[in-house]
Chain A
Amino acid sequence: MAGSRRIPRAPSEEARQRFVAFSVLLTGYDSAELWGTGMVTPYLCFLIDAVGDQVTGALLSKWTAVADAAGKDPAALEQLVRDEILADPTLGPVARNLIVMWYLGEWQQLPADWRDVHGTHAADQTCFVSPEAYAQGLVWNAIGAHPQGAKMPGYGSWALPPTIPEELP
Chain B
Amino acid sequence: MTTPQGSYDAIIVGAGPVGVNIAKVLTDRGKRVLLLEAGRASGLSYDGWLSYVDTYRSAVMKEPNAPYPPNPNAPSTYAQDVLNIQHKIPILSGYQVEKGPLSFASTYLRSLGGTSLHWLGTCPRMVPNDFRLKTVYGVGVDWPISYDDLQPYYCKAEWALGVSANKDEQGHFGIWFPPEYDYPMERIPPSYSDGVYAEGARKASVRFGDRDYGMTVTSLPQARNSIPRENYALSSAYGTKHVGERCEGNASCIPICPVQAKYSALRTLGQMDKNFYTLVTQAVASRLIINENGRIGGVEYKRYESEGSNQYQTGTATATLYIVAAHAVESAKLLLASGAANSSDQVGRNLADHPFFLTWALNPTPVGAFRGPGQTSEIPSFRDGPFRTDFAAFRIDLGNWGWDIATFPPNSNVYEAAAANTFGKTLRRSLGQQIPRQLRVGYVIEQLPEPGNRVTISPEFIDPIGCFRPVIHYNVSDYTRKAMIAANKVSNALFHAMGIPDADIYTKFTPDSPGYMTYKQDDGTVVPLSFFGSGHHMGTHRMGVSRTDSVTNRYSRSWDHENLYVVGCGGMPTTGSSNPTLTAVAMALMAADDMLTQLG
Contacts and interface: CB of A to CB of B under 8 A. Distances in A.
Nearest to A132: B57
Given A96-B421, A104-B414, A157-B249, A144 B366 contact: yes
B421 A140 contact: no
A154 B249 contact: yes
B60 A143 contact: no
Given A100-B414, A127-B58, A148-B251, A25 B369 contact: no
B418 A27 contact: no
A150 B250 contact: yes
B59 interface: yes
From B258, B413, B425, name the one whose CB has the most chain A CB atoms within 10 angstroms: B425
B14 interface: no
Contact of B417 (A99, A126, A150): A99
Contacts of A145: 251, 368-371, 436
Interface string A137-148: 011101111111
A148 B370 contact: yes
A150 B57 contact: yes
Contact of B428 (A100, A106, A135, A168): A168
Contacts of A162: 192, 366-368, 371, 436
A28 B426 contact: yes
Contacts of A81: 423
Interface in B189-210: 189-192
B424 A78 contact: yes
B58 A140 contact: no
Nearest to B413: A139
A139 B414 contact: yes
A96 B423 CA distance: 9
A28 B372 contact: no
Contacts of B427: 27-28, 99, 103, 142
B259 interface: yes
Nearest to B427: A28
B526 interface: no
A134 B251 CA distance: 14
A86 B421 contact: yes
Interface in A80-121: 81-82, 86, 96-97, 99-100, 103-104, 106, 108
B345 interface: no
A152 interface: yes
A165 B189 CA distance: 23
B375 to A, nearest CB: 11
Interface string B340-368: 00000000000000000000000000111
Nearest to A29: B428
A84 to B, nearest CB: 13
Interface string A150-169: 10111111111111110011
A149 B59 CA distance: 12
Interface residues of A, number: 53
B48 to A, nearest CB: 15
Contacts of B56: 149
A55 interface: no
A100 B419 CA distance: 9
A158 B249 contact: yes
Nearest to A162: B368
From A29, A97, A144, A153, name the one whose CB has the most chain B CB atoms within 10 angstroms: A144
A142 B249 contact: no
A114 to B, nearest CB: 14
A80 to B, nearest CB: 13
Interface string B395-411: 00000110000000011
Nearest to A103: B414
A128 B60 contact: yes
Contacts of A152: 248-250, 258-259
A142 B432 contact: yes
Nearest to A95: B423
Contacts of B251: 145-146, 148-149, 158
Interface in B243-257: 246-252, 256
A130 B58 CA distance: 6
From A132, A139, A144, name the one whose CB has the most chain B CB atoms within 10 angstroms: A139
A128 B371 contact: no
A144 B438 CA distance: 13
A131 interface: yes
Interface residues of B, number: 55
B435 interface: yes
Interface in A42-96: 78, 81-82, 86, 96
Contacts of B373: 158
Contact of A99 (B192, B252, B369, B423): B423
Given A26-B423, A139-B414, A165-B436, A158 B252 contact: no
B431 interface: yes
A106 B60 contact: yes
B371 A158 contact: yes
A164 B247 CA distance: 24
Contacts of A27: 423-424, 427-428
A155 B421 contact: no
Nearest to A163: B368
A158 B418 contact: no
B432 A159 contact: no
Contact of A153 (B192, B371, B431): B371
Contact of A148 (B250, B417, B431, B432): B250
Contacts of B371: 145-146, 153, 157-158, 162
Contact of B53 (A103, A142, A149, A169): A149
A25 B250 contact: no
A107 to B, nearest CB: 10
From A26, A142, A143, A165, name the one whose CB has the most chain B CB atoms within 10 angstroms: A143
Nearest to A159: B189
A97 B418 CA distance: 8
B57 A154 contact: no
Nearest to A126: B60
A43 B2 CA distance: 46
A100 to B, nearest CB: 5
Interface string B518-550: 000000000000000000000000000000000
Nearest to B254: A148
27 contacts: A28-B424, A97-B418, A99-B418, A103-B427, A131-B53, A131-B58, A134-B57, A139-B414, A142-B428, A145-B368, A146-B251, A149-B53, A149-B56, A149-B251, A150-B57, A150-B258, A152-B248, A152-B259, A153-B249, A155-B247, A156-B249, A158-B373, A159-B189, A159-B191, A161-B368, A162-B368, A165-B433
What 7 A-B pairs have minimum CB-CB distances, sorted nearest first?
A158-B372, A162-B368, A165-B432, A149-B252, A131-B57, A28-B425, A145-B370
Given A134-B58, A152-B258, A159-B190, 12 more contacts: A103-B431, A139-B410, A143-B370, A149-B56, A152-B248, A153-B249, A154-B248, A155-B247, A155-B248, A155-B249, A158-B191, A162-B368
